[in-house]
Amino acid sequence: MQSIQAIDSHTVGEPTRVVIEGGPPRQGAVLADWISHLRTEQDDFRRAVANEPRGSEALVGALLYEPFDPTCDVGVVYFNNVGWLNMCVHGTIGLVVTLQHLGRLSQGRCRIETPVGNISGLLEAKDRVTVQNVACRRSQRSLVIDVPGYGQISGDVAWGGNWFFLVDDHQQHVQYDNLERLKHCAWSIRRTLEREGIAGDDRGEIDHILLFAPPTRDDADSKNFVLCPGGAYDRSPCGTGLSAKLACLVADGQLQPGQIWRQESILGSVFEGTVLVEGGKLTPCITGSAHLSAEVKLLFDPDDPFRHGIPAPKTGA
């Protein structure tokens, strides 16, 4: 019977499953070949690990591989219930804690190859990690769209490793007891962006929606609700989303390099974010905590009709 070994963790509530043994072997001569192979030939693996009955809509998987770039310590590709992800900061925080658990983290720091560029992770304490992400940027400011059932909504389009639409004027109650309404609003925004053909400046799909509100914690600067690509909400403040937010704040003169922004999640947990500016590029540094939750051996019975997972609904939220 086929099996896969993995380590589960959660980053302030958002789960990560790092596949350490039994995943597909690396293919191709360059990173782009490997990513293409995973997307076209290994979707059964993705679904089997991330989807029910072994996974959940909130779970992000991380497939480790030997990096193509010799300057990197490890390569990783992230995935969730509906596809392969460009980048995932909460997952990287979980990955660093996992590597420490496995004895694979030298001096608490590692350089990591991802599909969108090299990043780094620094273990600052037993469970506290700072990720230096890929460069972030704002693509469009105050873009107005007409969302059915919600009227005109204005937001920014920004890149933080994934493409985001960031909204302040949504008129929604950003609290945990209002999840279904928040999901419906955010999904309606995403469908409107798709219908209008609105995308990132590289024509990348805007598959994450961020709704902001004043914080409920005295030590936070803002609170958010994050809709992920498969229609699940992010339990964490979302590290790539915070990276996109930082790009907007810097562009508006509301944040200076080195100044800390504390972003509260829908659960009340917090990430800290700062930016470095070099060569005209904004590089976000995101700090958060992760905790190990399980050492997992996933079993795949050839007679199991759902051995490749239950496909996620196409309609989302």
Catalytic residues: 88, 238
What's the CA gap between 313 and 265, in Å, rounded?
25
What's the CA gap between 96 and 101, in Å, rounded?
9
CA angle 27, 84, 50 (to 5 degrees): 105
**What does DSSP assign to residue 59?**
-
What's the CA gap between 193 and 107, in Å, rounded?
44
Look-up of token digits 């597909």 = 24
Tokens standing for residue 26: 């690396």
Q: Is 268 left (phi over 0), alpha (psi -120 to 50) or beta?
A: left
- DSSP secondary structure, 185-210, as one string: HHHHHHHHHHHTT---TTS----EEE
Tokens standing for residue 170: 């949504």
CA atoms within 13 A of residue 20's CA, in its CB half-sphere = 19
